[in-house]
Amino acid sequence: MTDARSLRRSERGPFPDSGSVARLIDHTCLRPDAGSAEIDRLCSEARRYGFYSVCVAPKFVERARGRLQGSDVRVCTVVDFPLGFGSGKSRVYAAMDAVNRGAHELDVVAPAGAFAEGKWKLAYEDIAAIVMSTPQATHKVILETGYLPDSRKVRAAKTVVQAGAAFVKTCTGFGPGRATTGDVSLLRNAVGEELGVKASGGIRTLSCLMRLAKAGASRIGTSSALSIIEELSAR
């Protein structure tokens, strides 16, 4: 999380360089109509600019892993995306399958219904089962904050931490919520400084990315990474 912390400290200092910004970004393409050529281009862009990862649909994990071989760019995919209402067994299987095919990181949609109903034990067991079945992966659990009041966002974040995940994440981008500085700050305070907070959902500009990083985001998920880097380079 060094890059994110340096961005927070830079609020009144020099503007950050493109490399430090790029290392915050999961370069994302999760559109249902995306094809192989678009994933190849995503991987080429990630290599060129040094993005932390590419985030692709599960069917493209092996392709992305092959395209990124020999680079530092990691392969991220999603589990039970975007609704998070699969059975526990199906979610564990999907996570294991993604890792077996080459995923380094898993963005797991939380069991939103369990959070909304306050079924914390059920949510904990669901997430913990995925974490324990794929110990070699980095787990980022999507809370879908647009469905939750602040008190449940905090309780959900703490449940994710207890289940052993490395990150809490704001939104899928397909639900009602978007990444906000208020939510990022709330989640950062809930999980402390040593765990990750990923902001995702509606992040399209450099100024938005900077605000979220300064609020406590240690990773940014966006499909607008190129325009953000181009905006930074033009300054």
pLDDT tens, position by position, 74-90: 999 999 999 999 999 99
Mean pLDDT on 121-125: 98
Residue 81: CB partners within 8 Å, gap ≥ 6? 30, 57, 107, 109, 142, 172, 174
Are 111 and 123 in contact, with CB atoms under 8 Å apart?
yes
Least confident of 110-114, 119-123, 159-163: 110-114
Query: If we measure between CA atoms, which residue out of 106, 102, 104 comes closest to residue 92?
Result: 106
Catalytic machinery residues: 107, 169, 198
Instruction: State phi, psi for 197 to the nearest 5 degrees.
Output: -125, 120
pLDDT, tens digit (0-9, with 9 covering 90-100), for 152-193: 999 999 999 999 999 999 999 999 999 999 999 999 999 999
To 10 degrees, what angle do helices 206-215 and 2-9 make? 100
Mean pLDDT of 209-221: 98
- Phi and psi at residue 168, to the nearest 5°: -105, 145
Q: What is the mean pLDDT of residues 23-32?
A: 97
Query: Could you tell me if 58 and 31 are in contact, meaning their C-beta atoms sit under 8 angstroms apart?
Result: no
Report residue 139 as tokens: 């787990």
| Total Cβ atoms within 10 A of residue 73 | 23
Tokens at 166, concatenated = 């490395």
* Closest-CA residue to 33 (of 67, 57, 6): 57
Whether the predicted pLDDT of 12 surpasses 70? no
Phi/psi of residue 180, nearest 5 degrees: -130, 155
Is pLDDT above 50 for 111?
A: yes
CA distance 25 to 53: 7
Whether the CB-CB separation of 217 and 193 falls below 8 Å is answered with: no
Q: Which fold has domain 2-233?
A: TIM Barrel (3.20.20)
- What SS3 string covers 152-172? HHHHHHHHHHHCCCCEEECCC
